[in-house]
Structure 1
Amino acid sequence: MHNHLLPGVDDGIQDIDEALVCLRQLADWGIQHVVTTPHVSQDFHPNTSDQLREAGKLVQALIHTNELPLTFTVAAEYLTDELFDARLQQDDLLSFGTERFVLIETGWAALPRQLPNWLFQMQVKGYRPILAHPERYQYFRGHIDHLFYLRQQGCSMQLNLMSLVGRYGSEARRMAHTLIREGLVDFVSSDLHRARDLTHLEKVLQSADYHAACQLPLTVPTFV
């Protein structure tokens, strides 16, 4: 889970051929189920649920035509902004698994004051929130207690695997190690945006850090 494999809907994969390259590699690595999570944000990617489901049908057809041993789910990565608040009030969030997991991200400047309230509202509506790549937010560095608090409020944590090989800089890499050491990782994900990311992921899969992360009690969604 957590990748951007729907062509042309956000800053991820832009064409169907590149999507096929990525899906083939994921299948070769033994991945059996892919949950794609395109961006949804008010200012940059105001995708609707219906638009993303339609785009997902193209990828489903691609998987079927090429006989890839993959199943595929369309979810989303929601920026916690006014559009997210509106979609939440409308009970219109794309989730995955029978548990109804929903991936959220915050802005880079500051942690939203409304986040604890949003987490509460999500759970009241039956969603299970996951915070995307907390190792990348500068405002959590040196304040890991904030992550423990959010986790106590019912928010799971998702680590970008490419952080472990410095894809997002040395500070994110150090924070990723801290999250693993403190057991603050519930999901590990690729955050795959383009085919060239596959090289970084290959390095991750061969690293001791990856195996350390996999020793944690990670959450496994249930798919019917």
Structure 2
Amino acid sequence: MFSLFRKHIDSFNLASVAVDMHSHLIPGIDDGAKDMDNTMELLRKFSELGYQKVITTPHIYWDYYKNTSEIILEGLQKVRERVEQEQLPIQVEAAAEYFFDAHFLDLIDNDEILTFGDKYVLFELPFLVEPYNVDQLIFLLLGKGYKPIMAHFERYLYYHSKTLAMAEDFRRRGVAIQLNLLSLTGHYGESVRHQAELMIEKNLVDFVGTDCHRIEHLEIIKRNLKKKNFSKLSELNLKNNQLL
């Protein structure tokens, strides 16, 4: 019995994901990495875990983090220079995690959006109160030729009573769904973990991300890679490695 059970708890291989597309590694511009040494520590850990590329996504949330494309890209250049100096075996790109607010709508109107891959745009909603005009946002993004990705869908509490139906509806309308690996560890609570597991069970996940802000996040993920809910990720048709 025990030998049969052990066959099912091999660690989930993050090398198969290959690309992390949600993190906060540009130093000193949001609630992620504090300085360049911190950024390098995080990138070394990403490489150790098997990632080949990190597309880091600083917050653009105008009430709190007034980042611009210029600020982010300048930070990226400095990170790349340090990566080259230290000869880290990992690629680094940058986009943004856009909070759904009036400023984001203005950026869409003015074509001032940082994208990655095939014009993907990562955005997040408020966690507690459902916005009334998400449909407008989706319409604007798709109309401009962008491919929206909704960040950490499992964390929006107002969708918890209808997670599967809403995820199916958004995907049908052209919105990809991203799940946080930390959600599977219980880091955000049991309700969020349950929603994440439901989404995996019903194959409603397009991308997974670490949403890494600090080294502890990667260490938590590493400790949980043998859990059953992580092993089920291998059954999904994830798009992360298409970003190489």
* Cα contact 1:116–1:153 (8 A) shared by 2: no
1:164 CA displacement: 0.5
1:190 CA displacement: 0.4
1:137 CA displacement: 0.8
The equivalent of 1:107 in structure 2 is 126
Tell me the TM-score normalised to structure 1 length. 0.95
Bigger relative contact order, structure 1 or 2, given CA contacts below 8 A and separation 6+?
2
1:125-146 CA deviation, whole Å, 9 max, x = no partner?
1210000001111011011212
Give distance in 2, aligned partners of 1:35 and 1:88: 20
Give distance in 2, aligned partners of 1:215 and 1:38: 29
Give distance in 2, aligned partners of 1:138 and 1:183: 20
User: Which AA in structure 1 matches 2:234?
Assistant: C
SS at match of 1:129: strand
1:214 CA displacement: 2.6
1:37-96 CA deviation, whole Å, 9 max, x = no partner?
110011011211011000111111121111011111110000000110010101111110
Greater Rg by CA: 2
Ranges in structure 1 where 5+ consecutive residues have no aligned partner: none
The equivalent of 1:95 in structure 2 is 115
Is 2:207 the partner of 1:187? yes
Give distance in 2, aligned partners of 1:27 and 1:205: 16
Give distance in 2, aligned partners of 1:95 and 1:205: 29
Give distance in 2, aligned partners of 1:66 and 1:200: 26
Is 2:64 the partner of 1:38? no
User: Which AA in structure 1 matches 2:57?
Assistant: T
1:126-179 CA deviation, whole Å, 9 max, x = no partner?
210000001111011011212221111110100000111111111111111111
The equivalent of 1:143 in structure 2 is 162
The equivalent of 2:97 in structure 1 is 77
Give distance in 1, aligned partners of 2:70 and 2:225: 34
Alignment of 1:118-197 (within 5 A): 118-144=137-163, 145-197=165-217
Ranges in structure 2 where 5+ consecutive residues have no aligned partner: 1-20
User: Which AA in structure 2 matches 1:6?
Assistant: I
* Cα contact 1:158–1:189 (8 A) shared by 2: yes
Alignment of 1:55-66 (within 5 A): 55-66=75-86
* Cα contact 1:116–1:150 (8 A) shared by 2: no
The percent identity for this pair of structures is 36
User: Which AA in structure 1 matches 2:145?
Assistant: G
Q: Which of 188, 201, 212 pairs up with 2:221?
A: 201
CA RMSD of aligned residues (A): 1.3
Structure 1 outlier segments of 4+, above 4 Å: 221-224
* Cα contact 2:208–2:240 (8 A) shared by 1: no
